[in-house]
Structure 1
Amino acid sequence: MSKSKSNKVLSPSIIPIPNDIKILKNTLYVKDIIKIKYNLKNKNLADLVKIAKSELSKIDYKPITSDTTDDKIVLDILIKNNISKFSESYKLKIDLKGFEIIGSDYAGAFYGFQTLLQILETMKIENIKRVKTILISDTPRFKWRGMMLDVGRHMFPSNFIKRYIDIIAAHKMNVFHWHLTEDQGWRIPIKKYPKLEKISAWRKETLIGHYTNKPHKFDGKTYGGFYTKEEIIDIIEYAKKRSVTIVPEIELPGHATAALSAYPNLSCTGGPHETETLWGIHKEVYCAGNEKTFQFLGNVLKEVSKIFPGKYIHIGGDECPKTRWKKCQKCQKRITKEGLKDEHELQSYFIKRIEKTLNKLGKQLVGWDEILEGGLAPNAIVHSWRGMEGGIKAANAGHEVIMSPTSHTYFDYYQSEDKNNEPLAIGGYLPMEKVYEFEPIPKKINDNKRHLILGGQANLWTEYITTTQQIEYMLMPRICALSEAIWSPSDKKNYTYFIKRLNHHLKRLKRQKLNFRSLKK
């Protein structure tokens, strides 16, 4: 057994970099037994302590909550709203008495523990027993720090969804955008519409190779599935304890072929339709002239709203071809009746009706930047992905915005220009350094509108991602760069210093058996 490096002292190496770190003059000898103190009456803190005990045990510490020995070190976890005027803030103190975490709320305390966990895990990896005494004060720069996963194209087990949430939370990100419906599959059961899980959740086969390879070849194997309501509720509760809000996405009016395969009467042609086997944009969309469409979507969103307690529901709104609407008598009649100019205004009408439904359910609509076309719904949040121009336009018009430009946040893009030595991907090139450069507030946004930028998010589409290991590979270490881009103050960012800290961080990811992409590739 190797001896500890007793004379060596750890200097904390934290990702994302905190707002303020003061290194003090003393050092603390860290014992393996850690006594966790907290207010026993606080149920939320009890949840955090349970997580803390589990995580500390995984890295070979011995957490206790009762005095069974004097040979211990103390970890005190507190919540004090007055430590910061901002939510999700924390203070971490390491002194000769041990560790103290004070959160401005539960989330702040959770993030303080994540910082401490990074320090303690590095000590175990490096076999170091002493750490410098420090004072850390930390607050996130943005309130929306998100990561999306598409389970419509390819689906992944519920246990992995929890692992994905763990990765998000460990990097102090707080939104899991769950893309649940697509042309190629519908992954959430709706009690009122059982055909969604019986028909829409399945496709007859899947494309082999890249979409651009012609002629297209398919594997001939039925593919699909869905998450049960019980699984979804379990995942929501799991995420909540880790300060992650789940935002479900129910795509409309486009990317709807899977739903239309089960309920073809909601399309412009009446079908028949099949759940798509090809990636890309497809012409079958919900009929905007059919009242039954809005009844169906209203009922779906009502059930979704009951399952997901969060404030937001994402409705997609992107890549909706107008081909069917132009030829549909019902849609043209709707345009005339409502005094609309064209099919773009018909899409705006569609989104505005859905927004009214969501608002009545106590939810706020989020949609990709195409929802700007034809006029924006009054209370909608614009999710800008086709560059930042849509977000700039929306913010300057007084709307809240999430920035997700393809240029900096599309994690389905290749990580190297040497594409032959990388897993098959959709295309593009997004190295980690470009992710680190991501700045969610462009200069073109008026000074008095900058507060409308809620934050940023990266997206992981899965047309070409079929395994959980591949997800991890595409996610890491780019998520490490993203976390710093949307948590830390912009003046704290330094890519050279980030890489230095990342080398320690990757050792932690390796210890956790996560399949990250090596910096040496």
Structure 2
Amino acid sequence: MTVAAPSWAQAPSLIPAPVAATPAEGVFRLDAATVVRIPPGDAEAARAAAYFIDLIRRTRGLELAVSDAPGAGIVFERNEGGAEDAYGLAVGPGGATIGASDFGGLLYGGVSLWQLATAEAGQGAVEIAATTIEDAPRFGWRGLMLDSARHFQSIEMVRDLIDVMATHKLNVLHWHLTDDQAWRLEINAYPRLTEVGAWRQQAGAAGFDETGEPLLYGGFYTQDQVREIVAYAAALNITVVPEIEMPGHALAAVVAYPELGSVEDLPDAVFTDWGVFPWLFNIEDGTFEFLETVLDEVMALFPSEYIHIGGDEAVKDQWEANAHIQARMAELGVADENELQSWFVRRIERHLNANGRRLIGWDEILEGGLAPNATVMSWRGIDGAIEAARMGHDTVLTPAPVLYFDHRQSHSPDESPGRGAVISTRDVYAFDPAPDALTEDQLDHILGVQGNVWTEHIRTEERLWDKLFPRMAAVAELAWSPPHVNDWAGFAARLPDQLDRYEALGVTHATIWLEPMLSLDLAEDDAGIAVALSNELGAGEIRYTTDGGDVTSDAAVYEDAVIVQSGAVVRASTWLNGEPIGREREWTVSARDAVIRTSHQLAQCTGGLVLALEDDAPRGPDTDERAVLVTDILNPCWVYEAAPLDGVTMVTAHVGSHPFNYQVGAARDSVPLHPMSTPHGELEIRLDNCEGPLIGALSLTPAVDNDGITVLTGEIAPQDGRHDLCLRFTRDSVDPIWAVERITLGSRERP
């Protein structure tokens, strides 16, 4: 289908956007008397209709009847010869007809009709504008990866996620079930994988209860639960692709069964660290017997064509140091450890192929030579996909950071923990899944697109939902819609209806990224306080008031910084399509606020490994909330840019700490340790740059026994004008990581 895209003024409010939509005359009234009709004896049509009926019940409160008798209403019918998952939808005054040749098309036609019925929020009957839609997916792999190894999600949450995936026409759940931090899948032949490998102690002070006893964290999925999930997903046209990591990311497995490891001195428990671990499976025949037995049980549970074997971040140090492995390499004629990994992957692939399955792995499986039938999941940018496609291998595009949803999606201090780089929904939507470096024939090897949610720093299910949506809506449109409809303004115009659907379905989703954020500064010549407003939406407008009044369509549109006086009440909201979207925000502005910078607002001195991390406070009796601090763990150092220092003689710093529970290899040795002047170290304040004059130092002594946030106050040498301030800690060890939560400038008269 190559027809021109409809103008957005007439386009239906669908995400993902259809290939073609043609408006017609009239409306169809959907109400409680509407009957849903299916072909007699067509179980797939009945299932697609049931999902549509359930969506209407949950969002509009209507209970629709279903019938296999001919008549008016909403008709699901079979067509011959359509493409996989394609459908046609015709809505007119007499009813609606959904036609498709397969179950996926019937299901997605129903989803599109449901979206049309929920373009206006509310309960009860609704009038749907007449339209004709012809639609088919751009890619066959429209995926979401869920990392259940780093943090465990309930079976109910996984099932709910599958349900929401179907409303986005997504059809692959890549389920990451094993890693260094846990083994989450029950394997009958090897029970210690979950008895031992599914549990670990939390890091730092949060890993102990009030009596000092260790707190174990974890869980795993039984085989019966997995069968339930796989069946539930299949009923919604979703294939579950399991990932069982090898040869690296193997710590949980080798802790459970030490004979599988490549070194003799193994840990006796699963680590709570994050990062790239050195532990690898060895290459003994017994280890392959173990892996093949595991994969046999995996294949019995997951009927998917593809089995994901990881293959990423396999640090080869243990293989290099193991004399027996080196001797075996010589016997095999393997030149180096990269070729040994290729040999390892090829051996596993032969077992999968012999059972009618295909191997897929991260792009490191290209190193040392790609297995003959392997498919490459390109995560280190798109180069892996380009290399694989040029070699004639299939590939899935899932590059970091743009499709990695553990990243923050705004600069707001309200953002939940995650990786430091900001990846907004607009950034996701701008990704091009058709690299210019490939020819048309090579582009045929791109199976599709996938968004990944890694959960090292996402420990609650609510935060997981928040990280995923609506960014996964952008992925859905990249994966489904043809290039000619790719238009951020059009997507943004349809987004408010999508957020309303999330609300109706009870789907937690992020709005922070589209809401106004406030930043303050002292205006020049003591004229007041400069108020700047921004968001990550890149569409619509920000409206505001400075007198505490309601933000209406008559409120001022923000264009540039506004000068107000201390005590002003600023209210602001984002407006799109003539309506507010997201929360309205309110701030009472003061001169003190204008000289506060949080870690979200401070610049990082370097960009080594920036994370938005919770502090190490233990869980309280009434709350599990902790402060979130943006920190470069390889160089904890911040810059207050252009700080107004006239009259400033005092500094107040809110500081916290994190355990250094990161496996970063040799990078740990290069983390700077600045010499201490007091027994516990101090927070240094240096002028202009980090090698500039020391103008203040706040002792960390009050903070060393506090697992939460500590407030430190001290004097700094008076300066004139504006200067950058470098904030860094002195210490004699990388552990713990000290971090600035916020910094406030003051004086004896204005603390």
TM-score (norm 2): 0.64
SS in structure 2 opposite 1:408?
coil
Partner of 2:646: none
Alpha-carbon distance between aligned partners in 2 of 1:145 and 1:312, rounded to the nearest angstrom? 14
SS in structure 1 opposite 2:73?
strand
How far has the Cα of 1:39 moved from its partner? 1.9
Whether 2:61 is the aligned partner of 1:60: answer yes
Letter of the 1:78 counterpart: E
Matches within 5 A, 1:328-407: 328-407=322-401
Residues 30-75 of structure 1, C-alpha deviations (whole Å, 9 max, x = no match): 322221111231222222233233222212112112499x9x9611
Is residue 15–residue 501 contact of structure 1 (8 Å, CA) maintained in 2? yes
Partner of 2:270: 275
Is residue 145–residue 176 contact of structure 2 (8 Å, CA) maintained in 1? yes
SS in structure 1 opposite 2:46?
helix
Letter of the 1:222 counterpart: L
Alpha-carbon distance between aligned partners in 2 of 1:447 and 1:170, rounded to the nearest angstrom? 31
Partner of 1:114: 111
Whether 2:125 is the aligned partner of 1:142: answer no
Given candidates 91, 94, 97, the residue that maps to 1:97 is: 94
Is residue 120–residue 497 contact of structure 2 (8 Å, CA) maintained in 1? no
SS in structure 2 opposite 1:125?
coil
SS in structure 2 opposite 1:285?
coil
How far has the Cα of 1:520 moved from its partner? 1.6
RMSD, matched Cα: 2.0
SS in structure 2 opposite 1:242?
coil
Whether 2:11 is the aligned partner of 1:17: answer no
Alpha-carbon distance between aligned partners in 1 of 2:257 and 2:48, rounded to the nearest angstrom? 44
How far has the Cα of 1:21 moved from its partner? 0.2
Is residue 426–residue 463 contact of structure 1 (8 Å, CA) maintained in 2? no
Is residue 207–residue 278 contact of structure 1 (8 Å, CA) maintained in 2? no
Q: Bigger CA drift: 502-511 or 240-249?
A: 502-511
Alpha-carbon distance between aligned partners in 1 of 2:68 and 2:78, rounded to the nearest angstrom? 22
How far has the Cα of 1:504 moved from its partner? 1.2
SS in structure 1 opposite 2:421?
coil
- Shift of the 127–405 alpha-carbon distance from structure 1 to 2, 3 Å rule, reads same
Residues 281-302 of structure 1, C-alpha deviations (whole Å, 9 max, x = no match): 11111012x1111110000001
Alpha-carbon distance between aligned partners in 1 of 2:95 and 2:343, rounded to the nearest angstrom? 59
Is residue 52–residue 111 contact of structure 2 (8 Å, CA) maintained in 1? no
TM-score (norm 1): 0.92
Partner of 1:457: 450
Alpha-carbon distance between aligned partners in 2 of 1:464 and 1:307, rounded to the nearest angstrom? 29
Alpha-carbon distance between aligned partners in 1 of 2:328 and 2:422, rounded to the nearest angstrom? 43
Alpha-carbon distance between aligned partners in 2 of 1:136 and 1:415, rounded to the nearest angstrom? 33
What percent identity do the matched residue pairs reach?
37
Whether 2:419 is the aligned partner of 1:430: answer no
Partner of 1:196: 193
Alpha-carbon distance between aligned partners in 2 of 1:265 and 1:192, rounded to the nearest angstrom? 15
SS in structure 2 opposite 1:324?
helix
Is residue 34–residue 62 contact of structure 1 (8 Å, CA) maintained in 2? no
Alpha-carbon distance between aligned partners in 1 of 2:19 and 2:372, rounded to the nearest angstrom? 35
Partner of 1:509: 502
Unaligned runs of 5+ in 2: 1-9, 207-211, 517-751
Residues 92-140 of structure 1, C-alpha deviations (whole Å, 9 max, x = no match): 1111221111122100110111111111123452877322211100000
Alpha-carbon distance between aligned partners in 1 of 2:243 and 2:33, rounded to the nearest angstrom? 44
Residues 341-369 of structure 1, C-alpha deviations (whole Å, 9 max, x = no match): 11010111111111111111111000000
Letter of the 1:62 counterpart: E
Whether 2:412 is the aligned partner of 1:415: answer no
Residues 448-491 of structure 1, C-alpha deviations (whole Å, 9 max, x = no match): 21100001101000001111110110011111111111110111
SS in structure 1 opposite 2:360?
strand
Is residue 11–residue 132 contact of structure 1 (8 Å, CA) maintained in 2? no
Alpha-carbon distance between aligned partners in 2 of 1:219 and 1:300, rounded to the nearest angstrom? 34
SS in structure 2 opposite 1:379?
coil
Report the structure number with the largest CA radius of gyration: 2
Is residue 206–residue 221 contact of structure 1 (8 Å, CA) maintained in 2? no
SS in structure 1 opposite 2:370?
coil
Alpha-carbon distance between aligned partners in 2 of 1:297 and 1:338, rounded to the nearest angstrom? 20
Alpha-carbon distance between aligned partners in 2 of 1:375 and 1:11, rounded to the nearest angstrom? 47
Unaligned runs of 5+ in 1: 1-9, 210-217
Structure that is richer in strand per residue: 2
Alpha-carbon distance between aligned partners in 1 of 2:220 and 2:164, rounded to the nearest angstrom? 23
How far has the Cα of 1:447 moved from its partner? 2.4
Alpha-carbon distance between aligned partners in 2 of 1:191 and 1:503, rounded to the nearest angstrom? 47
SS in structure 2 opposite 1:293?
helix
Matched residue count: 498
Letter of the 1:279 counterpart: W
Partner of 1:213: none
Greater relative CO (CA pairs within 8 A, separation 6+): 1
How far has the Cα of 1:502 moved from its partner? 0.5
Given candidates 210, 214, 224, the residue that maps to 2:218 is: 224
Partner of 1:80: 79
Q: Bigger CA drift: 30-39 or 437-446?
A: 30-39
- Shift of the 206–219 alpha-carbon distance from structure 1 to 2, 3 Å rule, reads farther
- Shift of the 130–53 alpha-carbon distance from structure 1 to 2, 3 Å rule, reads closer
Alpha-carbon distance between aligned partners in 2 of 1:219 and 1:316, rounded to the nearest angstrom? 35
Alpha-carbon distance between aligned partners in 1 of 2:11 and 2:140, rounded to the nearest angstrom? 29
Is residue 255–residue 266 contact of structure 2 (8 Å, CA) maintained in 1? yes
Alpha-carbon distance between aligned partners in 1 of 2:78 and 2:351, rounded to the nearest angstrom? 37
